[in-house]
Structure 1
Amino acid sequence: MTTDTASETEKATTNEPLHIDGADQLNDVVGKHDVVLVDFYADWCGPCQMLEPVVKTLAAETDATVAKVDVDANQQLAQSYGVRGVPTLIMFADGEQVEEIVGVKGEADLRALIESYT
């Protein structure tokens, strides 16, 4: 039964971003997946809205698990990762933070970054 749940989770993570609520959930996702791209964003942030379709495309078309963290709802989590501006993208590989990108980057740049870890 656990296997079915895990495979459902795998399917969800490969097709669309996971919305993270709290450090425990983020740690769980980072621990279970080889490469995780976390988008720290805010609903009111114009550049974040511009990045949204890119993030969705990367979730659907790459081997990375893509997660989204609303910094307004998760201020302590954002602070613990030193997020001072949004959007901030943090990449984890094998459970370790390996990259941090502040601001909007193009899909090609982000895809190349993900592929360098997958």
Structure 2
Amino acid sequence: MSSTEAAPAEPIQLADTDAFDAHVDDHDVVLVDFYADWCGPCQMMEPAVEAVAADTEAAVLKVDVDEHQSLAGEYGVQGIPTLLVFADGELVEQMVGAQTEEALTEAVAGPSA
């Protein structure tokens, strides 16, 4: 099953909680980054998250936990950064804490490989 939308080369900032499922469903593989602007490890990971968006076929969706607390709660986010990998609309991996660019690239490559 292949999506019709190519993954954007830059992270998508989630503006509306209702759009979350549409973003996840529109792309074959989606890396969701639950973060907060005040979170040091989240800021350190920003270049790696941007690299995944630019260098892989995965879409990257950024979710500000301060703006979207209900969504963070729905996915059991207790610490940030929390990164979720969705493949074909299904949650396939969850990572908590700062990750390397290599770990993120491997995570998004795994489901489709």
* TM-score, length-scaled by structure 1: 0.87
**Pair member with larger Rg:** 1
Q: Is the 8 A contact 2:92 2:111 kept in 1?
A: no
Q: 2:71 is matched with which residue: 71, 77, 101?
A: 77
Query: Which residue of structure 2 lines up, in the alignment, with residue 94 of structure 1?
Result: 88
The equivalent position to 1:111 in structure 2, one of 85, 105, 108, is 105
Q: Which residue of 2 is the match for residue 46 of structure 1?
A: 40
Are 2:53 and 1:59 aligned? yes
Q: Aligned AA for 1:22? A: D
C-alpha distance in 2, partners of 1:23/1:96?
A: 17
Structure 2 distance, partners of 1:15, 1:51, is 17
Give unpaired runs (5+ residues) of structure 1: 1-5
Contact 2:9 2:53 in 1 (8 A): yes
Could you tell me how far apart the structure 1 residues matched to 2:84 and 2:96 are? 9
Count matched residues: 109
Of Structure 1 and Structure 2, the greater helix share is in 1
Aligned equivalents of 1:90, 1:112: Cα separation in 2: 13
Question: Alignment RMSD, CA only?
Answer: 1.3
**Amino acid across the alignment from 2:80:** V
Q: TM-score, normalised by structure 2?
A: 0.91
Spell out, residue by residue over 1:59-108, the C-alpha distance to the aligned partner (whole angstroms, 9 max, x if none). Answer: 00000000000000111111111000100000100101110000011111
Shift in Å, 1:39: 0.1
8 Å CA contact 1:40, 1:78 repeated in 2: yes
Equivalence for 1:30: 24
Which 4+ runs in 1 deviate beyond 3 A?
A: none
Q: Which AA in structure 2 matches 1:74? A: H
CA distance in 2, matches of 1:46, 1:24: 28
